[in-house]
Amino acid sequence: MGRNLPVLMAAQGFAQSGPTVVILLGGIVGTTIAPDPGFATFPVATLIIGVALFSIPADMFMARFGRKRGFLTGTAIGACAALGAAASISAGSFWAFTFCTLFVGAHVSFAQQYRFAVTESVPVHRAPFAISMVMLAGIVAAIVGPETAKRAKDLVEVEYAGSFLGLAMLLACGFVVLLLYQNSQMDDAQANGEQRPLGEIVRLPAFALALGASAAGYGIMSFVMTATPVSMHVERAMSFEETTFVIQGHIAAMYLPSLASGFLTQKLGPTRIIWCGLALMFACVVIGMVDQSLMHYWFALVLLGVGWNFLFLGGTTLLTTTYRPAERFKVQATNDFSIFSLQAAGALSSGAVIHALGWDAVMWLSLPWLVLLVPVLFWYRRGQGEAAQAAG
């Protein structure tokens, strides 16, 4: 597999610290300096909006200049945005802070391509394993991101400004690691071969399921996770340490299952993994509705994390089967733009829902995202059956 897999695993660990810190602190900082409590989670929403807005430009940049330059440029943007966020908090400027989290999101849009880049360095049958290993490296973010935020929060006079200075240092480390990345030696005939119209590709049942699984996973994860720190720390008056404990558990649950989920995807196929992820998400909603004790939050957010892992890994693996090498950038860009636009909608609505209607409404409104995925799974299964009959 060469050195790209360990390089991208290390880079992922640093890169995912960005959204981890923003998700943990965005709503808390927003509650302190926002002009209206309804805007409290807006910095988290702008993070995700940034991922969506820059998904297509990031792919276009890498299509022209290569993966390595794209990854280095994205990481530099993220580090500068983290420094700007620290300065904005010190100045008490809410809108400047949200502008900076937008560009932390821009960095994430480049980093999201790590999962596709690693498949270009491995045989096709090893793609689920390689993707899962890159995702697994996010466990570093579950530990390092919140711990850095907690330990550095009083580094400067204004609380939490130091947390973003710590984030800037983490992203600088990621930049150094990415200097070791090597662009894959894809055959020119493959990279510049014949391309189908994008409309033809997006009408494939496999593409619809791949996109639907990832979008449901990210949309619900964003909607629930964005609301959690506000529900715990602001509305339920739980401590920052308790809130950090739940968010760390959630992020660990997002990435730790990758120790096994890549292997399971290779053995069982992406469709069965998507079904498992869907069941776990339903369980998250049920537990979240039962009570709002510390451990109910923790169990619900852990199930949310594992469900996200299965849906996102299954969806990403399935997506890699829908395009030819020459089509990869436009299909990946379309997929990521769609996913993160829906995720942004979840994050944007989360703050208003948690403040106006409360935690139970967050749980109830998560259900339609899950229900809509069921007919897509059956449509894909029917298409597979028809293809098997035609082949027979």
Q: How far apart are CA 300 and CA 139, in angstroms?
A: 18
Return the closest-CA partner of residue 14 out of 152, 147, 169: 169
pLDDT, tens only, 192-238? 667 888 888 889 999 999 999 999 998 898 889 888 888 887 777 78
Q: How far apart are CA 125 and CA 102, in angstroms?
A: 36
Give the confidence band of 355 by pLDDT, cuts at 50, 70, 90: confident
Residue 1, pLDDT above cutoff 60 = no
Least confident of 124-128, 186-190, 207-211: 186-190
- Give the list of residues 6+ apart from residue 159 with CB closer than 8 angstroms, or none: 153
pLDDT, tens only, 20-49? 899 788 888 888 888 887 777 788 878 888
Q: How far apart are CA 276 and CA 106, in angstroms?
A: 31
pLDDT, tens only, 90-122? 999 999 999 999 999 999 999 989 988 988 877
- Give the list of residues 6+ apart from residue 319 with CB closer than 8 angstroms, or none: 206, 207, 210, 211, 214, 331, 332, 335
Q: How far apart are CA 173 and CA 375, in angstroms?
A: 44
What type of residue sits at position 220?
I
Tell the CATH superfamily of the 4-182+198-386 domain.
MFS general substrate transporter like domains (1.20.1250.20)
Q: How far apart are CA 338 and CA 179, in angstroms?
A: 30
Residue 145, pLDDT above cutoff 90 = no
**Cβ contact 111:21 at 8 Å:** no
Q: Write down the residue that tokens 């510390």 correspond to.
A: 294
pLDDT at 187: 44
- In three-state secondary structure terms, 279 is helix
Helix intervals (H) in 192-268: 198-202, 205-229, 240-255, 258-268
Estimate the share of the chain in helix, then strand, then coil, as percent rounded to the nearest 5. Answer: 85, 0, 15
pLDDT at 186: 58
Q: How far apart are CA 178 and CA 170, in angstroms?
A: 13
- For 263, the token pair is 């292997």
Return the closest-CA partner of residue 219 out of 129, 96, 101, 349: 349
CA dihedral 342, 346, 348, 350 (to 10 degrees): 180
Residue 151, pLDDT above cutoff 70 = yes
Return the closest-CA partner of residue 21 out of 170, 198, 190, 233: 170
Q: Taking the CA atoms of the chain, what radius of gyration do you get in angstroms?
A: 20
Compute φ and ψ for 140, nearest 5 degrees: -60, -40
Percent residues over pLDDT 90 in the chain: 36
pLDDT at 191: 56
Compute the mean pLDDT over every residue in the chain, rounded to the nearest whole number: 86
Q: How far apart are CA 84 and CA 293, in angstroms?
A: 36
Q: How far is CA 217 from CA 166, 245, 288, in A?
A: 29, 22, 16
Residue 188, pLDDT above cutoff 70 = no
